[in-house]
Amino acid sequence: MAELHFFTGTMDSGKSTLALQTNHNHAARGRVGRIFTTHDRAGEALLSSRLGLTHAALEVAPDFDFWRYVVDDLTQGGRIDYLICDEAQFFTRSQVDQLAKLVDELQIDVFAFGILTDFRSNLFEGSSRLVELADRVHTLQVEALCWCGKRATHNARTENGMMVTEGEVIVVGDVDALDEPPAEVAYEVLCRQHHRRRLTAARAKAVSLAPEPLPFG
């Protein structure tokens, strides 16, 4: 029986790498799939991993209809056994419903990959619907780390190294490298404590990693 899988984790936890590996494993067994993504850091119609791997993909616009695409492809003699959907947090609620319909009515496996919450710690529309509908929700075991070394649980948007909590939900950027100057707009994974205190790696470095004050008064 086909299933709808949702693989989730913070940024930098290997979701896109796993998406590429999943596609490779199924294709190696003779299965035929399609790869979808949206707002990838490498550009339009590309699925990219921070390890340097890339694969051509179909770009998903807000009005893209998964059901219509697959039915049209099959009607024209195509074969589709599975779908790989990266950056699925950006999908609309309707698009996730279409993916579930493909699983249930056409027996096509769907493997969706995405982060749960945005830089404000609010659930993305696509991720919320995937949690509601997925047959299986998998939390990635490769833990991203906060600059302090603790497990990162939150995604933060930074502007010149400073964390921001307002702005457009979708702004494409990558995770800052600790040994490089902060980008104008970037993302950083933080533990809950440092996300709550808005203490990014750049800000911590600016204060020379001074001990944080005790939470009194």
Active-site residue set: 87
Q: Which of 171, 60, 187, 188 is nearest to 113 (CA)?
A: 60
Q: Which residue's entry shows tokens 């999908």?
A: 91
Q: Are 78 and 70 in contact (CB under 8 A)?
A: no
Q: Which amino acid is at 192?
A: R
In angstroms, rounded to a whole number, what is the distance separating the alpha carbons of residues 111 and 88? 10
Q: Which amino acid is at 184?
A: E
